[in-house]
Structure 1
């Protein structure tokens, strides 16, 4: 087993007391917020309540971040 696959405590983040929910919303991206942004235009009260600073993280899930040769698809 490779040592880089071991979950370790983060050096500068103390964590939170549980319970903790990890929600992965496949297909829901961070859009431009314009008239073509379906998530922004939709009524999403639960997402709106969860979308507060410190309660979320943005990840790159395309292109070179996932092993593709370039970021040209975005």
Structure 2
């Protein structure tokens, strides 16, 4: 079975931790990165290349919509 890799971008620590536990506890899924802001996510997600990114839109600093837009431009898999 292929594992679906997931990255989380969520500023609320409790929500981010709960999502990590839920994903890692679900068969066939693995959380490969969890970030508390868009800036950290933009730095790491292009290297990790997750299958799925769960993005909070209301982040401090850069919002989630801008982060997704930038990820699409910097991540090869998003452009195919």
Normalising to structure 1: TM-score of the pair? 0.25
Bigger proportion of residues as strand: 2
Structure with max Cα Rg: 1
Structure number with higher relative contact order (C-alpha < 8 Å, ≥ 6 residues apart) = 2
Bigger proportion of residues as helix: 2
